[in-house]
Structure 1
């Protein structure tokens, strides 16, 4: 067990070193957690008041695959996810692990209705190969958005559980912005509001949400109308952030290049989730043209138990890392 823990810790530290040396943008400022031990005054001084992004790391227990997750501030990171051996191997030759939903713990909540997003390879192909049964199930839910590759619909929690257990290829299914207040009480209790959200500002929580899905997951460049505390529950996400003026310039350039103008990027609209705008935003933020001379941009990786503060008006884009089930929560607050 100790060997597994050491190997996993080395693996995640290696991934941080890789992105730290190979990424195109400077690293986000970081302080050591865990989240529930961060001093409110320190958080205000370093991040909230000056409106600077800040990564709060979980400490040495860096992965949901580790045996002991009791130190996490958020019980969901421990209860909702499990791991099993995979056929892959890590950088040091150790046996790989993959993150899965906990069927035993989550089974009582299978009928909970949640908001989903699904990105399909084409309007006709839902991305599950020859799995006709799963294909028919997904086509039932997206029948109202035929002719597109981006779909939004509501369905039971059991749909994600079913899709995550299917053989590859699995659909790019994502529970997107599910309000925590709408979850069953037991699940809501697993994602308590962090003390920084309640005490750093006026204590006004604008919204709190769950994000969970099958990789690859991707959120295009956008900005939020309020400060955002983002918490990673399972697996990892790579994040790029841009100061308000820099992000606005990138967004305007993409809009102009595709001959479109209108929305200001303050919401995750359908238009940025497929087609020309999606490709344009992805290339502008994650493409080779984004080099280390780009001022006003930062980058980091958030792992299980890590929290990222994103100031109001800062533009950001997320990409999942790895093949395991990916889970996050966030709080918009003032």
Structure 2
């Protein structure tokens, strides 16, 4: 039993079983023992690889897209370029590099990186040390100054804690984390049904609800409607709300038990894009998508960009570029190809024209 497991066991012994949402929060964000507090999870030497780490093409295309979004929004002055969960800073580095083709864009931007991990903040500072655009770090989106905001969220919403509800003979009951007789962490159910939850479904069905993600999306959409701007969210998940659970724990590029060694594995759930879309539209925002990441990147020209890079590459590099293209935009096994499971969705002011990447 590791240190965080012991601490969680004490909380449960004193207060009773805790929600999955609270358990995920402790595992990921505990100030001393949380996963993102203590780990650099990115890259081949970490626990997983995100799209910006696979190829520069991903960040370059998102940078071009964001420049077009800023232009479509009317070239607002004194804007904020915001990234939620910036990882090692790779995506922002690629975006800022390609943005040099649009000096007016950079001249009107200050960068805000929403990051709680001191370890990752240090990595981001190293990655972005040579940039001339003003860069600030924020603990949450609410700290970003009021201004038109242009927000990037790549593989961010999947890491926000969720709740599970299980259909029983007496109604929907919340899944909790408790202790067995030996003191190990186990899943159980709340003793009483959840009031107000009356979704028809067979017994044994599970509903996964990410209220934290929906509230954050509502906050961002409200800011965009009030101050202007655009958000691009790219993540893995479902285009439509569906029954079922998707909690997974990943360590060293493999799946592990989410209740074993808490704080030492990344915990995520698939993003419910339909729920996020409803949250944004309820605040008056215009939404495009979600569409598959593959379709989105192909419409932005990833195949042409790959061809251009290959012309300057040797044989080994051409093979790497082709492999990256297939992984980022290809269809098939979602463990190897991100084109279908990953989705892209844009949130914008209702007066903003349609943006590229979302054509049917």
Quick check: which has more Rg, 1 or 2? 2
Bigger fraction of residues in strand: 1
Bigger fraction of residues in helix: 2
TM-score, L = length of structure 2? 0.26
